[in-house]
């Protein structure tokens, strides 16, 4: 006999009129705060990667991660709805206005988008991308763990 654990937690943490804040969004925000804090802390210890430069990296990485994450989600849902229409996913080919929206992101898109944006930033500012990613790698893992709780 199989045993299942069921935890009855409402996915909505807070309702303020028409605005709803979910636990997943809170945990993703905490994950972003975690990686930025990690970068600023370790940036102070490295003369080549100052805390100011780490804040600039965050200002580039966060928006590029969000944009690429949404782009990958839309692409994924479009392929699924095209190949398996019975699944009932959002068909962005039929409803292109739904592309701009708040619901639906992918972690892989966020990581790839942030990495691409930061790589371009490093090329423009002549910063060592390898040194930066070596310093950020443990923080990315920690942030992934925090976000995964959501």
Which pLDDT tens digit goes with each residue over 38-81? 999 988 888 888 888 999 999 999 999 999 999 998 888 888 77
Average pLDDT over residues 10-35: 90
Q: Is 52 exposed, middle or buried (0-12, 13-18, 19+ CB in 10 A)?
A: exposed
Average pLDDT over residues 19-32: 90
Residue 55 CB coordination number (10 Å): 14
In a domain, 138, yes or no: yes
In a domain, 39, yes or no: yes
In a domain, 46, yes or no: yes
In a domain, 62, yes or no: yes
What's the number of CA atoms in the CB half-sphere (13 Å) around residue 78? 13
How many domains would you assign to the chain?
1
In a domain, 70, yes or no: yes
In a domain, 10, yes or no: no
Q: Considering the entire predicted model, what is its pTM?
A: 0.82
Higher-confidence position of 132 and 4? 132
Higher-confidence position of 46 and 142? 142
Which pLDDT tens digit goes with each residue over 120-134? 999 999 999 999 999
In a domain, 13, yes or no: no
Has residue 84 got a pLDDT over 80?
no
Beta bridge partners of 16: 19
In a domain, 136, yes or no: yes
Could you tell me the residue range of the domain that residue 80 belongs to?
Answer: 20-149
């Amino acid at each position: 006999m199989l045993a299942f654990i069921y935890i009855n937690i409402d996915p909505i943490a807070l309702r303020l009129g028409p605005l709803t804040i979910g636990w997943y969004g809170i945990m993703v925000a905490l994950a972003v705060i975690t990686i930025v804090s990690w970068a600023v802390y370790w940036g102070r210890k490295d003369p080549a990667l100052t805390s100011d430069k780490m804040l600039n990296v965050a200002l580039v990485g966060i928006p590029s991660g969000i944009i690429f994450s949404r782009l990958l989600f839309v692409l994924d849902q479009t392929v699924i709805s095209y190949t398996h229409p019975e699944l009932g996913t959002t068909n962005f080919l039929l409803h292109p206005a739904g592309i701009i929206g708040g619901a639906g992101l992918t972690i892989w898109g966020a990581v790839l988008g942030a990495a691409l944006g930061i790589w371009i930033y490093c090329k423009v500012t002549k910063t060592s991308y390898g040194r930066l990613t070596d310093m950020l790698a443990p923080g990315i893992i920690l942030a992934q763990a925090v976000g995964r709780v959501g």
